[in-house]
Amino acid sequence: MDIIVCVKQVPETAEADLKITADGKTMESAGLVFDINEWDDYALEEAVQIKERLGGTVTAVTVGSEAADSTLRKCLARGADQGIRVTDPKIANSDGYAVAKVLHSAIKDLPFDIVFTGAQAGDDGYSIVGPALAEMLNVPHTTMVKKIQIDGSFAKVNRELEGGLEEVLEVKLPALLSIQTGINEPRYVSIMGIRKAMQKETKILTLSDLALNEKEVGESGSWIQVKRMYIPPVEKQAEFLNGSPEEVAAKIVEILKAQGLI
């Protein structure tokens, strides 16, 4: 079972003080901590678990600068057999569609039974890389996958729907599956894993290696272009009501009447 996992290095923004660059098109990276995208983390773990049960190989692929090597090495330490990083300044400002084109060129000639992606990325949330890549590879795909059972040349998958519901599908392999969080429990990186990762192969590719030109990536090769990013202004603030329960209840009633809600 040969599995390819597409991963992305993203900033951890939950508790960060975000700032926008002067051109208004991206976030300032200085001072931010970067790590593997949360959804991709689960996808990698699922790939390694399948390899451990059925045998085969796991290849981690990322698109990014030299800084993304830390994420790629983490994948290798967690059980991936080899890593591929596509890097080129011309790829900057690519949307999900353009990134899918880069990934397609990088993996289309590799043997694979399954391609894993995360359901979305924590920085842009486009959620289109997986489906777009599947169409380019001409393989079936399903998104928001919460459970996978491999049976010969088919994968039985449970995918998350709204309202806590799940849909069960049977997908013929090779296929692309976009993984939702919670499908497993990602393992910690062990010291032994880090040592083994240093001996595993990492390949660096550029656009020229992939036979792509600069018009196919970046802003010119994207469907979506960011015109301006900004931090939403605070327009409303919470009002704390003090007093006894009766007084607070009376104030709430007054507020609801003033808003025309009762």
CATH topology of domain 2-216: Rossmann fold (3.40.50)
| Residues 132/103, Cβ–Cβ less than 8 Å | no
**Residue 224: C-alpha distances to residues 135, 151, 220, 248 (Å):** 18, 38, 10, 48
Residue pLDDT tens, the chain, 262 long:
999 999 999 988 777 788 888 888 888 888 888 999 999 999 999 999 999 999 999 999 999 999 999 999 999 999 999 999 999 999 988 999 999 999 999 999 999 999 999 999 988 888 999 999 999 999 999 999 999 999 999 999 999 999 889 999 999 999 999 999 999 999 998 888 888 888 887 899 999 999 899 999 999 999 988 888 888 887 777 888 899 999 999 999 998 888 888 8
Does the reported pTM lie above 0.75? yes
Measuring CA to CA, which residue among 112, 96, 120 is closest to residue 40? Answer: 120
* Three-state DSSP class for residue 116: strand
Whose structure tokens read 């979506």? 224
Copy the structure tokens of residue 217.
């990536």
Measuring CA to CA, which residue among 191, 113, 125, 186 is closest to residue 153? Answer: 113
